[in-house]
Amino acid sequence: MWQICLIALLMQQPGTVGPTPDTAEVPKAQKTYDTGENRVELLVLYEQRFNFIEDFVPQPPKSELLLRVRLAGKDIPQLVRCGNVVFDEAVDSAGQALAEPDQYTDEFKDAMRQIPAPPTALAKNGWQLSASLKPATRTAETVKTMSGSIRCIFASETEEIIVVDPRQYTDKAVEDARLTELGITVSIPPTEGAADNPATQSEIRVKVTGETEKIKTIGFCDAWLRPIRTRPPEEQRTEDGGKLFIYQTGGMPIDDSTQMIVTVFPTLRDEQIKFEFKDVKLP
């Protein structure tokens, strides 16, 4: 009898109704930054001002107008290197010049940094950079104009070039037809103290000249193509405009069975992305 009463009670409970197509919440499409013309977007503008009553530090920080910008556009997922933000002109509403074209050194204008983010992350977030200007006049309300450019290098493909026993090229250029075709010269400078210090067998120096921007990474593996882990390389500029990379394995020797894998970008596209911002309100 009690089973019949329970069934009757359950039949009287209202059923749970799920969302209908009309009431269901449609997830919003996530904004991406891989569409439209390649461009520079201004994200934030802020000031830092200092008034040192006493100079108690050797190099006190300067008062500056600081910015953060984002690179966006249809080619941004293929961004592999970018330079610094270089201003051609920046003037506040009081007429004060915040940037001078000759304030940048050649080293600053020529500097390029490798982009570590994958294409999917670049499409999702773009690429952000910081920049600075002279502090605005206190009576100014806006930056009347800011214009300049950022140098960007794009590539869509990579290629691996394997060099067997790189130490055989100590103090001379690696002989490889593909590297020559790409305009890249790779050589192995001698390791300092190698003759009297066995520990240097776990260190190797690689010098790159010519089309250095085409180099993505340089890695090492053993005869069975098992990767040899190295510390992040120390990078130095050479007098002839090349780059010197110093790799250390942390103990594993680099000998005649070692193979060096040079990953390159066969084709690059170089673009100066220009920008201009008008009447930006000061903080």
Beta strands in 103-255 (DSSP E): 112-114, 127-133, 142-154, 159-164, 184-187, 203-210, 215-221, 227-228, 234-237, 243-248
Q: Which amino acid does the sequence have at 279?
A: D
Q: For 178, which DSSP code?
A: H
Comparing CA positions, the residue from 85, 96, 87 lying closest to residue 141 is: 96
- Higher-pLDDT residue of 10, 72: 72
Please say if the pLDDT value at position 16 is more than 80: no
The DSSP-derived string for 68-116 is EEEEESTTGGGEEEEEEEEEEEEEETTS-B---GGGS-HHHHH-EEE--
Say how far apart CA 226 and CA 221 lie, in whole Å: 5
Tokens of 29: 């499409």
Please count the other Cβ atoms lying within 10 Å of the Cβ belonging to residue 100: 12
Domain ranges of the chain: 39-53+61-156+269-281, 159-192+199-264
Mean pLDDT of 188-199: 65
Q: Is the pLDDT of residue 60 over 70?
A: yes
Q: pLDDT above 90 covers what percent of the chain?
A: 69
Please state, in angstroms and rounded to a whole number, the distance separating the CA atoms of residues 99 and 88.
7
Average pLDDT over residues 98-114: 88
* pLDDT tops 70 at residue 120: yes
- CA-nearest of 165, 206, 167 to 184 is 206
Q: What is the pLDDT of residue 191?
A: 81
* Confidence (pTM): 0.81
What would the mean pLDDT of 205-222 be, rounded to a whole number? 95
The per-residue pLDDT for range 157-185, each reduced to its tens digit, is 999 999 999 999 999 999 999 999 999 99
What single DSSP character describes residue 21? T
User: Which pLDDT score, from 0 to 100, does residue 8 have?
Assistant: 47
CATH topology of domain 159-192+199-264: Immunoglobulin-like (2.60.40)
Task: Inform me whether the pLDDT recorded for 95 exceeds 60.
Answer: yes
Per-residue pLDDT band for 55 (boundaries 50, 70, 90) equals confident
What's the CA dihedral at 193, 194, 195, 199 to 10 degrees?
100
The answer to whether 39-53+61-156+269-281 and 159-192+199-264 have equal CATH topology is yes
Question: Distance between CA 5 and CA 3 in Å, rounded?
Answer: 5
At the topology level of CATH, where does 39-53+61-156+269-281 sit?
Immunoglobulin-like (2.60.40)
pLDDT at 198 (0 to 100) = 52
pLDDT band at 234 (very low <50, low <70, confident <90, very high): confident
> In sequence order, which residues have a C-beta less than 8 Å from that of residue 79 and are 6 or more positions away?
71, 115, 122, 127, 152, 153, 154
Instruction: Return d(Cα 179, Cα 176) in angstroms, integer.
Output: 5
Highest mean pLDDT (candidates 192-196, 201-205, 233-237, 262-266) = 262-266
| Residue-level length of the chain | 283
Question: In the structure, what pLDDT confidence band is assigned to residue 92 with cuts at 50, 70 and 90?
Answer: very high
**Of 97-101, 128-132, 268-272, which gets the smallest average pLDDT?**
97-101
